[in-house]
Amino acid sequence: MDSRPSQTAFRRFEQICKAAGLKVTQQRLEIYRQLLKAKDHPAAETLYTRLARRLPTLSLDTVYRTLATFERLGLVHRLETTGSQARYEALSTPHHHFLCDRCGKVIDFSWEDFDTLEPPPPPAGAERVERTSVVLHGQCADCAQAAAEAEQG
């Protein structure tokens, strides 16, 4: 399976940026490319670290502002974690998240039964529901194994 982002994703990215009046800069393109490739739902700081060597003029502030713009344009999803550090992913196929409360690992999963449910009506003061997602909290297999080993020994 090819892990490189598809040309379709980049065309969509360019179209959305241009429609919003944004230039497709090298920094924006590289931040988006990194999110498309990432499987770990990186935080802004992680993205900055991954890109800083290749883009020496990139600042952490630029990464934060770019992610906020991408979120507003519907290009990325921000996942709030228990540690108050937002994690990001490029929007792709609908899915949900499992968040390990010990190590912070995020695991994508599908839940077809949930996805077929009609969302509830918007709460008072809200206009419409645009998407739904589930975040399950618990302990990943690695943390559970480490805890079991610590108890034994």
State which of 47, 77, 92 marks the end of a domain.
92
CB burial of residue 66 (10 Å; 0-12, 13-18, 19+): buried
Mean pLDDT computed over 55-83: 92
pLDDT tops 70 at residue 125:
yes
Residues 61 and 132 reside in one and the same domain: no
- pLDDT of residue 5 exceeding 80, the answer is no
- Residue 59, C-beta contacts closer than 8 angstroms, at least 6 positions apart: 48
Structural domains in the chain (count): 2
Q: Please check whether residue 99 is in contact with residue 110, taking contact to mean a CB–CB distance below 8 angstroms.
A: no
List the helix and strand counts (H, then E) for the chain: 6, 5
pLDDT for residue 50: 97
- pLDDT at position 51 is 97
Give the chain's largest Cα–Cα span. 60
Do 101 and 142 share a domain, yes or no? Answer: yes
106 & 76 share domain: no
Residues 83 and 62 in one domain: yes
Domain that holds residue 101: 93-153
Confidence at 84, pLDDT banded by 50, 70, 90: low
pLDDT at 8: 87
- The mean pLDDT of 41-69, rounded to a whole number, is 96
DSSP secondary structure letters along 34-66 = HHHH-SS---HHHHHHHHHTT-TT--HHHHHHH
Same domain, yes or no: 82 and 105? no
85 plus 64 within the same structural domain: yes
Of 76, 52, 56, which is closest to residue 66 (Cα–Cα)? Answer: 76
Name the token pair of 15: 């179209």
User: Whole-prediction pTM value?
Assistant: 0.79
Answer yes or no: are the C-beta atoms of 149 and 136 closer than 8 Å.
Answer: no
Closest Cα partner for 95 from 70, 77, 71? 77
Same domain? For 72 and 109 the reply is: no
Q: Are residues 153 and 98 in the same domain?
A: yes
Model confidence band, residue 132 (pLDDT cutoffs 50, 70, 90): confident
Q: Once rounded to an integer, what is the mean pLDDT over residues 61-73?
A: 96
User: Which of 76, 92, 108 is the endpoint of a domain?
Assistant: 92
> Across the chain, what does the average pLDDT equal?
89
Return the pLDDT at 4. Answer: 58
Which residue, among 29, 8, 2, has the nearest Cα to 92 in the 3D structure? 8
What is the pLDDT, as a whole number, of residue 17?
A: 95
The answer on 79 and 26 residing in a single domain is yes
Question: What pLDDT does residue 130 have?
Answer: 82
Are 56 and 108 contained in the same domain? Answer: no
β-bridge mates for residue 136, sequence order: 98
